[in-house]
Amino acid sequence: MAKVGILMGSKSDFDVVKPAVAVLKKFGVETDVRVISAHRTPDEAHEYAASAKERGIEVLICAAGKAAHLGGVVAAFTTLPVIGLPVKTDMMGGLDSLLSIVQMPSGIPVATVGVNGGENAGLLALQILGIKYPEIADKLSQYKEAMKAKINADDAALQEML
Ligand code: RP5
């Protein structure tokens, strides 16, 4: 059963969403990936958000660009944690998307990752799930150890060159 619901406002957002799906898959976490728009399919956005918890979803990721209100709208209809994933745009490089998602007024928070930060959105979802599932928290510790080993190896290689 999918633990993470991943919504995107348009199929054109999918390239940004892929790293989130990939990292969740790598950790063995099933996802439910959908194209649902806050303004083009508002009824579906409402229905999905309001029913997510009873369908077993534990964390939501919402990717959107421009006037990117999908995360905020979804967060309005659920108590599940919502991670906003701002999509880079042509006009402002994604600053428009970022501000639309991160600057939620008090009362309805949307945890926001960087522009096109799909992998971090997936990792943040895993960290939230790790509170409940020790096996996910353990895998995250191993992931961090591997990252540390790589940086240390890169540093050692650099020192050799200098
Ligand atoms: C938003 O508008 C979507 O999240 C997408 O990033 C942006 C552009 O959508 P398309 O015109 O490519 O469908 O709703």
Burial of 159 (0-12, 13-18, 19+ CB in 10 A): exposed
Ligand 1 contacts (CB < 6 A) are 9-10, 12-13, 37, 64-66, 87
Mean pLDDT of 20-38: 98
Summarize the confidence of residues 67-95 as an average pLDDT. Answer: 97
Do 14 and 60 touch, CB atoms closer than 8 A?
Answer: no
pLDDT at 53: 98
**How sure is the predictor about 127, in pLDDT bands with cuts at 50, 70 and 90?**
very high
pTM of the full structure: 0.96
Q: 116 φ, ψ to 5°?
A: 60, 25
What pLDDT does 29 receive? Answer: 98
Q: What is the CA radius of gyration of the chain?
A: 17
**Residue owning the nearest CA to atom 2 of ligand 1:** 65
pLDDT at position 118: 98
Distance between CA atoms of residues 27 and 123, nearest Å: 10
For residue 50, give every residue at least 6 positions away whose Cβ sits within 8 Å of its Cβ, in sequence order, or none: 77, 78
- Report phi then psi at 63, rounded to 5: -100, 135
Confidence of residue 128 (pLDDT cuts 50, 70, 90): very high
Say what the pLDDT of residue 117 is.
Answer: 98
pLDDT tens per residue, range 50-75: 999 999 999 999 999 999 999 999 99
Q: How far is the CA of 156 from the centre of ligand 1 (A)?
A: 44
The alpha carbon of 12 and the centre of ligand 1 are apart by a number of angstroms equal to 6
- pLDDT confidence of residue 74: 98
Q: What is the mean pLDDT of the chain?
A: 98
Taking residues 84-111, report their average pLDDT.
97
